Amino acid sequence: MATSQKKRVPIKQGLFKVPADREKGYLIGSRCKKCGDCFYPKRAVCANCYSQEMEEVALSTRGKIYTYTIARTSYPGVPLTAPFITAQVELPEKVQVLSLITGIDFDKVKIGTDVELYFWKVREDEEGNEVMAFAFKPVGT
Amino acid sequence: MADKEVVILGVGMTKFGRVTGRNPMEMAREAGLMALKDAGVDYKDIQIGFCAHCNQPIGTGTDCFAELGMTGIPVTNVELACASQSRGVMLAAYMIAAGTYDMAMVIGIEKMPRGMVPILGEQSDMPYPFLMGLMPMPGAYAMMAQRHMHTYGTKREHFAKAAEKAHRNGSLNPNATYRDVYTLEQILNSRLIADPITLYMCSANADGATATVVCSKKMAKKYTTKPMLLVGWAGGTPVYEKGGMLAEGPTEMLGHKVYDMSELGPKDVDVMQVHDAFSPGEIFTLEELGFCPKGEGGPFVWEGNTEIKGKIPVNTDGGLVSCGHPIGATGGRMIAELSWQLRGLAGERQVKNPKVALLHNQGLGGTNVMMFKM
C-alpha cells in the first residue's frame, strides 16, 4: 500500500506530544506522587523529596513570561536564527519552561505577558516526516 | 581538619589573548614556572598536582605537569566549567588541611575556539535548548538581568557602568586581552548580544594559562614570613527551588559558609574578584554576597563603590570582561590578582593596603567562594 501521509515527529523524544488528529499537543512533565511538585522536562527522581514515584503529566498549555531576552546571536547549524525572543515561561504548575516566543514585537515583549503553547514545523526529515518543535505566543493571537 | 588555613605560596599566569594559537603545553609551562619562581619552590617539592581545563584533550593534566618535571606525583584533571581552576585550588586546600600533603600545584589551561562557547557532545544527547539554539551563552545572564530590571528597577546604564570600570581597570593590566577604554555611551551603543547585554559587557574567549602553588602553614615557614592565607572556602551547585529559574550555584549560601569558616564578613573585605562573564554578574554577586541589599547592586556600582579607589574594589584587573576568558584558567587569574593586591605588587591597579580579599568564581552551575587574608 503506497501511502504518502506525512507524519509529525518531535525533534526530540520525551519532551512533548505533537498534536495529532483530534488530540491537542502538550509538554510532557512529571509530577511527584508523594509531594506533588511538577517538573519539566521529566525527571525520574523528585528534586524536592527524592521519591522515585513520578507520573507523567500533560502540563498546562498557558503560562506567563517570567523573564526573557532577545537573542541577537545564534549558533551555527541549529534551527533558530537570531534575532528571536527566548523566555522562561512560568506555568500554573510552578514549572518554568525555556521557550521560543513568537508573535510579539521585540519592543513590546514584557515580563508577565500571557502566552500559549503551539507547535511548528522545523523541517522535513529524509522520510518526509514533519519534524516539530514548540513555542509560545501571546494568548489569542 | 588538622588546620583550616592553608597558604597560597605562589601564583603565575601568561598574558591572556584572543586565539593566540599558542601551544597549550608551552603556556602551562610558562605559568607553572612563574608560580614556582614566585613561591621560591623547586618542582621536585610539589607533592600533588591538579590541572583545570574544559576543552583540552585526554591526558592534558599529566602532559602539562610533565613539562615541569617527571617526579611521579599524582595529577588529576578538574572540570567545573568556568570555575575549574579555583575548584582545583580548593581540592588542594582540602588535602593540605587534612594533613595528607604539604605542597600542591594547580595549573589552569585553556586554548579556546573563536566565537561563542561551542556545544559539545552527540547531537542526539543534547538537551532541547541546545539542540534548538534557544540559549546562546549570554542568554542566561541576560534573562537574569531582565528580571533584575523588572523587580528592582535596575537600569542598562548600571550594567554598562560595571563594564566601563572593568575596561578601565583592564587598561592598567598588561595581562589583559582587551586594554581599550570605552565610554558609557560606547558600551551602551555597542552591538546588542542578548538584551540588555551589549558586546562590551561580554567576556570573550581567550587563550591562557594560570598556576597556583598551595602549601601548608608549616611548610610555608621555609619560604616566607608573610604568607597569603586561604582562610575560608566553599563550593556548591544549584539548590532546587520550586518554580525557580535556571540557577547558577548558590552564591549566597556559599558566602555564609565562607564567612562562618573565616570569621570574616563583607565589612572586612578590602578587595574582591567576582565572576563577570557578562557585566550584570558583578551586580548580582555584590548583592548575593551581602555587600549591598538585594536590588541595590545597580546604584551601588553606579556610585563608584567598586572602583579601585571605591569602598570595595571589584575586579581590579579588569575581570573577565577585559582580561578575556580562558575557561579552565580564569580562577587562577582571579587568585593571582588577589595575591598581587595583598602583597602590594599590583602596580597601577594597587588598592591601598588591602588585608582581606574575597573571590567568587562561577561556571555553568558550579560556584566557588574563597576568602584570603594577609
Q: Which residue does chain B place closest to A85, by CA atoms?
A: B134
Integer-rounded Cα radius of gyration of chain A = 17
* Structural domains counted in chain A: 1
Question: Which has the minimum average pLDDT: A13-22, A111-120, B123-132, B258-267?
Answer: B123-132
Helix (H) or strand (E) holding A137: strand A130-138
Is residue A85 within 8 A of residue A110, CB to CB? The reply is no
CATH code for residues B6-114+203-373: 3.40.47.10
**B116:A73 CB<8 A:** yes
Residues from chain B contacting residue A51 (CB–CB below 8 Å)? none
What confidence score (pLDDT) does residue B137 get?
76
| Predicted pLDDT of residue B118 | 56
Specify the DSSP element, H or E, that contains A36.
Answer: none
Given CB atoms, is A20 within the 8 Å cutoff of chain B? no
Q: Write out the H or E segment, with its range, that includes residue B285.
A: helix B280-288
Across A20-29, A64-73, B37-46, B140-149, least confident range = A20-29
Which stretch of A65-69, B113-117, B138-142, B329-333 has the lowest confidence by average pLDDT? Answer: B113-117
B147 neighbourhood in chain A, CB within 8 Å: 66-67, 111
Instruction: Answer whether residue B57 shows pLDDT above 60.
Output: yes
pLDDT band, very low/low/confident/very high, at B18 (cuts 50, 70, 90): confident
Type of residue numbered B297: G
Indicate yes or no: CB of B146 within 8 angstroms of CB of A11.
Answer: no
Q: Is A101 or B244 the better-scoring residue by pLDDT? A: A101
Domain-embedded: residue A61: yes
**Mean pLDDT throughout A8-20?**
93
Of all residues in chain A, the percent with pLDDT exceeding 90 is 83
Name residue A118's amino acid.
Y
The answer to whether residue A81 is domain-embedded is yes
* Nearest-CB residue to B129 (from A48, A82, A98): A98
Q: What is the pLDDT of residues B84-98, one digit of tens each?
A: 999 999 999 999 999
Between B112 and B340, residue with greater pLDDT: B340
The whole-number pLDDT of residue A1 equals 47
In a domain, A28, yes or no: yes
State pLDDT tens for residues B238-262.
999 888 876 666 999 999 999 999 9
pLDDT of residue B150: 97
B240–A47 CB contact, under 8 Å: yes
Which residue ranges make up each domain of chain B?
6-114+203-373
Q: How far is A123 from chain B (nearest CA, A)?
A: 12
Whether the ipTM is more than 0.90: the answer is yes
Percent of chain B topping pLDDT 70: 95
Whether pTM > 0.90 for this model: the answer is: yes
pLDDT of B21 > 90? The answer is no
Q: Give yes or no: B82 in active site.
A: yes
Alpha helices for B71-172 (secondary structure H): 84-97, 128-132, 138-152, 156-170
The whole-angstrom distance between B327's CA and the closest CA on chain A is: 19
Instruction: Tell me, yes or no, if B325 is annotated catalytic.
Output: yes
CB B361 within 8 A of CB B333: no
User: Choosing from B54, B82, B202, B323, which is the catalytic residue?
Assistant: B82
Q: So what's the pLDDT on residue B364?
A: 81
Pick from A103, A127, A97: nearest CA to A8:
A127
| Average pLDDT of the residues in B339-355 | 98
pLDDT digits (tens, 9 = 90+) for B131-182: 999 987 788 899 999 999 999 999 999 999 999 999 999 999 999 999 999 9
- What pLDDT is recorded for position A22? 79
In a domain, A124, yes or no: yes
Cβ contact A111–B135 (<8 Å): no
Res. A105: pLDDT tops 70: yes
Gap between the Cα atoms of B41 and B19, Å rounded: 31
Using DSSP, state whether B145 is helix, strand or coil: helix
Q: What is the domain extent for residue A28? A: 10-138
Across the interface, of B116, B127, B144, the residue whose CB is closest to A75 is: B116
Is A93 within a domain? yes
Does A66 map to a domain? yes
For residue B243, which residues of chain A lie inside 8 Å, CB to CB? 90, 94-96
Question: Residue A140: which pLDDT band, with cuts at 50, 70 and 90?
Answer: confident
Under DSSP, the state recorded for B207 is B
